[in-house]
Structure 1
Amino acid sequence: MAGNSQRRGATTKGKGRTAGSGGRVRRGLEGKGPTPKAEERTYHKAYKAKQAAAKRATGRPARTTSGGKGRPGAGPEWVAGRNPVLEALQAGLPVKTAYIADGAERDDRLRDILKFAAEHTIPMMQVHRLELDRLTGGALHQGVALQLPNYEYAHPDDVLADALDDEGSEALVVFLDQITDPRNLGAVIRSAAAFGAHGVVIPERRSASMTAAAWKTSAGAAARIPVAMATNLNRALETYAKAGFTIVGLAGEGDVDVAGIPGVDGPLVVVIGSEGEGLSRLVREHCDHLVSIPISSDVESLNASVAASIALYEINRCRG
């Protein structure tokens, strides 16, 4: 009958002595360290409440870039995860600080990361895993992450002045209109650097920015060619036009063939729109010419970065 057991140490109706664990539980906790606070445990409701409060305070959720997948995290200046970190290092991305979590399991990828960091004198800061969770905003970091420095954008007027002051080649600047994929941005920067452009200008709104994905796709070209951010793209185009630049926009319905761009021997701005919507109406109105790339009727349009490469190649070829 319940409560009448004669077994030594049995309980009786919620009072009296209870059977102990013989120290088993205490020994199991040895070496584990202090129990983290509830708001530091990612699975705990207190942690989620703290994150929600931070989101309300800033008015928007924080973001991170992890191999271009855009997992939630602390901002575009972070690269988290072993494969993304290794790829970022090998692509030559600038690194502000590298972090490794205490007790991170060593595998081939982590060994390659540590070897690369040692060979290129990149210091690795060792932090508690909970601290790395906090720094990366809860991203899946697998014990390692990189913080990139904030990109320093040039001013469109400075790019204009540098392009006109270059006595070695005719001025050439690329403008991007509504390019929202950072990989497209990075690819255009790479092509612009390859074909002698003096800079790339992007709008402040509705545009990809210099995230880790853009840096990676540029294959290091972002460190060799300035990227300027314009508060108003149309005003920037007006400024360039007044300075003597011919403004040409890439458009599938354009009546000028890319092989015969007017004004190619003088200061030139090439404007590239998004693959889906193309150039916006106001940007079209600021173009002196709309240029098309002949393609098969079976293909609706070209990727923006591919179209940019073709146009820049043709300009470079014509300038000889």
Structure 2
Amino acid sequence: MAGNSQRRNRRTTNKKGATVGSGGQRRRSLEGKGPTPPAEMRKGHKKNRIANAQAKRSVSAQSRRPSGRGAKATAEMVVGRNPVVEALRADIPATAVYVQQFIDSDDRVREALKLATDRGVPLLEAARPELDRITAGLNHQGLVLQIPPYEYAHPDDLVADAADQGEDPLIVALDGVTDPRNLGAVVRSVAAFGGHGVVVPERRAAGMTAGAWKTSAGTAARVSVARATNLTRTLEAYQKAGLTVVGLAADGDIELQDLELLSGPVVIVAGSEGKGLSRLVGETCDLLVRIPMPGGAESLNAGVAAGVVLYEASRRRA
């Protein structure tokens, strides 16, 4: 008889609707899934297939690139969600953003994708093993930003740039400075006080990495950085071209306020905070100048010291 069946789980009503214990599945099914991702990130889209192919070719090229002495500069990788977002915010040049397939998206990932899309930086989807390989096993968190190799100028170009502007060269050379943030700070000061460029040695010195770009606050886009095979020989070449080479040293013979030569063609040489100028570079300098520090500090890092001297040079030239 109807209604008297002893079979378990038999439906005895035609009433429709959510059953007790549904766990809110119907409610969740109505929730939005957020903004539509870019075409490059949508599986099955033509742009997604093209991006995946480009990623595989790029990853393969990375693995074949030579390394060691004599190798050409390669692209730098910024790894991790926070570093990638900060680099994109700082408008650091970028050639691609690698995004891990099936990434667990959060606010940082969404912001990185939006910033990259707004700037026209290609978004390339890659499998986790590929990202592990190109980042040498670092914790990339599914996001990797590729920065193109920096195009260094020749030391002679800085003098030529000053001549084109009808000005006496004002150049900063760094000796043994290995912190990219110091290099970025010097680049920023050169831009602020009307300098014509920065010279760094090829070896055992900071280069224009993502950290240097970030510290320069975008000024690296308009200030030339040159690489010298041999810094001592480069300084000697500058001397032959009529520039005065001024080294910064705590035990310098002349105080900064007494240096009249800053109004003419000059190269300011700053060393590392710990070791200062190397012996050969110090002997090559025409003058060794000290910055008076009434507060009693023993030394200043290269970025601060160069900024102080560049300000004094700018004041005298004005």
> Could you say whether these structures have the same fold, taking a TM-score greater than 0.5 normalized by the shorter chain as the test?
yes
2:121 aligned partner, one-letter code: I
Counterpart for residue 124 of structure 1 = 123
Correspondent of 1:292 among 286, 290, 294: 290
Instruction: Within 5 Å, give how 1:9-158 maps onto structure 2.
Output: 77-158=76-157
Percent sequence identity over matched residues?
A: 57
Counterpart for residue 264 of structure 1 = 262
CA contact (8 A) 1:85 1:113 kept: yes
Q: CA deviation at 1:103?
A: 1.1
Structure 1 residues 128, 85: closer, same or farther in 2, change over 3 A?
Answer: same
1:120 aligned partner, one-letter code: R
Q: CA deviation at 1:144?
A: 0.5
1:140 aligned partner, one-letter code: N
Three-state SS of the structure 1 residue aligned to 2:105 is coil
Relative to structure 2, which stretch is displaced further, 91-100 or 156-165?
156-165
Q: CA deviation at 1:300?
A: 1.2
Three-state SS of the structure 2 residue aligned to 1:98 is strand
Counterpart for residue 226 of structure 2 = 228
Cα displacement string for residues 173-232 of structure 1 (whole angstroms, at most 9, x for unaligned residues): 110000011111111111111111111001112211111111111111111111100001
TM-score (norm 1): 0.74
2: CA distance, partners of 1:291 / 1:165: 29
Cα displacement string for residues 31-60 of structure 1 (whole angstroms, at most 9, x for unaligned residues): xxxxxxxxxxxxxxxxxxxxxxx9xx9679
Q: CA deviation at 1:297?
A: 5.7
1:224 aligned partner, one-letter code: R
2:283 aligned partner, one-letter code: E
CA contact (8 A) 2:249 2:276 kept: yes
Three-state SS of the structure 2 residue aligned to 1:263 is helix
1: CA distance, partners of 2:232 / 2:203: 12
1: CA distance, partners of 2:307 / 2:262: 16
CA contact (8 A) 1:100 1:125 kept: yes
Cα displacement string for residues 12-37 of structure 1 (whole angstroms, at most 9, x for unaligned residues): xxxxxxxxxxxxxxxxxxxxxxxxxx
Cα displacement string for residues 213-264 of structure 1 (whole angstroms, at most 9, x for unaligned residues): 1111111111111110000101110111011101111111112221232322
CA contact (8 A) 2:249 2:290 kept: yes
Relative to structure 2, which stretch is displaced further, 268-277 or 286-295?
286-295
CA contact (8 A) 2:161 2:196 kept: yes
Q: CA RMSD in A?
A: 1.8
Counterpart for residue 163 of structure 1 = 162
Structure 1 residues 121, 76: closer, same or farther in 2, change over 3 A?
Answer: closer
CA contact (8 A) 1:78 1:136 kept: yes
1:272 aligned partner, one-letter code: A
2: CA distance, partners of 1:121 / 1:211: 21
CA contact (8 A) 2:95 2:122 kept: no
2: CA distance, partners of 1:59 / 1:317: 44
CA contact (8 A) 2:100 2:125 kept: yes
What are the ranges of 5 or more consecutive residues in structure 2 without an aligned counterpart? 1-62
TM-score (norm 2): 0.75
CA contact (8 A) 1:172 1:269 kept: yes
1: CA distance, partners of 2:119 / 2:232: 43
CA contact (8 A) 1:164 1:267 kept: no
2:253 aligned partner, one-letter code: D
Counterpart for residue 175 of structure 1 = 173
Q: CA deviation at 1:277?
A: 0.6
CA contact (8 A) 1:99 1:126 kept: yes
Q: How many residues align?
A: 250
Relative to structure 2, which stretch is displaced further, 264-273 or 117-126?
117-126
